[in-house]
Amino acid sequence: MLKRLLIYVNRYVKLIIGICISVVGLYYAFIGIDFTQLWTIIKQVDLFYGFLALFIIIFSNVVRTIRWQILAKPIDEISFKPGFSAIMIGYFGNSVLPFRMGEFLRAYILAEKTSLNAPTAFGTIVIERILDFVGLSLLILLAIIAYPAEWIDQKIIIGVVALSIGAFAFLFYFNEIKKLFPFQMDKMKYLNKNPALKIITFFSKIISGAIAIRSTNKVMLILLYTIVIWAMYCLSTYYALMSIGITLKWYQVCILLISTTFAISIPAAPAYVGTYHAAVVYVLTSFFAINQLDAQASAILIHAVGTIPFIIIGAWYFINSSVSIKDINQKKIINN
């Protein structure tokens, strides 16, 4: 009982801290805002570029689904529709629920529609996210070559590149690494208790999903899809800015995208409210000399393009599924 109470307290403390961070971000992004002028800018948005940005960001998830199918194929065949719906429901969950529950929701949805169990499905999501960071690392290196300014700390560069490539290499060569440690944890007597064994089994299923990439002969194709996904993110951001009347060079768009990616990794309220807006306003005004009002309008529009369609589409798929939020609590996933 006490343990459960501590878990709930910990969750709500994190939620409160996240909301506070979002409030600070919103205050920074929109301090001194003139809502009348802001509304004038938003009304003058070029709808062609706006819808183009919207189409590209949604279509990027078609590419993401295809990549996910290839990643999971050594374990199970995932048809396109359940894969795409699970991705959209995952984004919906991340946008409306605290604690990034969308990833667990995505894994559970996929497990409901395929023969995969939820932890193994979550393992495939883990390797997918690691691939995203590999793509981010390449984008950072490309931006540094084109724009060698002090817009990012070298320690951050080294850290992101090392962690993403290191994590990818660890999972890719996991079987070889495992041979260096010949003991089997699940057979050790002091761990052969029900709770401990459940946790070990749970993480072994996650690992089995994450290392599935090793069993495919399409690693280069997977990396190519990763590059395409990030290129589409850049294009969507570029056209969203153009709809406001802001034209940036390609490497400046990359820097903005990199900055917002770091910003949304900070614990905050659902849908990355506040942290995302603060990053956009800071980068546009500090590095690219965009006036405050245009930067604020850009923050609102780019954030809307990257969240509203996913909330709507994800909510539609979620409502038409047979899964409830209660189904994705940690206990249920471990039991699967």
Smallest CA-to-CA distance from 86 within 219, 306, 72 is with 72
**Cα(294)–Cα(148) distance, integer angstroms:** 25
- The answer to whether 134 and 223 have CB atoms below 8 angstroms apart is yes
Task: Determine the Cα angle at 327 with ends 321 and 330, to 5°.
Answer: 140
Backbone conformation region of residue 271, classed left if phi is above 0, alpha if psi is from -120 to 50, else beta: left
Residue 75 DSSP code: T
**Residue 261, helix vs strand vs coil:** helix
Task: Tell me the pLDDT of the chain (336 aa) as tens digits.
Answer: 555 555 555 666 666 877 888 888 888 888 888 888 888 888 889 999 999 999 999 999 999 999 999 988 888 888 899 899 999 999 998 888 776 778 888 888 888 888 778 878 888 888 888 889 889 888 988 888 887 666 566 566 667 667 777 776 666 656 555 555 554 544 544 445 555 545 455 556 566 655 666 677 788 898 999 999 999 999 999 999 999 999 999 999 999 999 899 888 887 777 888 899 999 999 999 889 899 999 999 999 999 999 999 999 999 998 887 666 565 554 444 455
Distance CA 266, CA 202 (A): 27
Token representation of residue 35: 């809502």
Concatenated DSSP letters of 160-202: HHHHHHHHHHHHHTHHHHHTTS---GGG-GGG-SHHHHHHHHH
Q: Round to whole Å and give the CA distance between 88 and 143.
A: 29
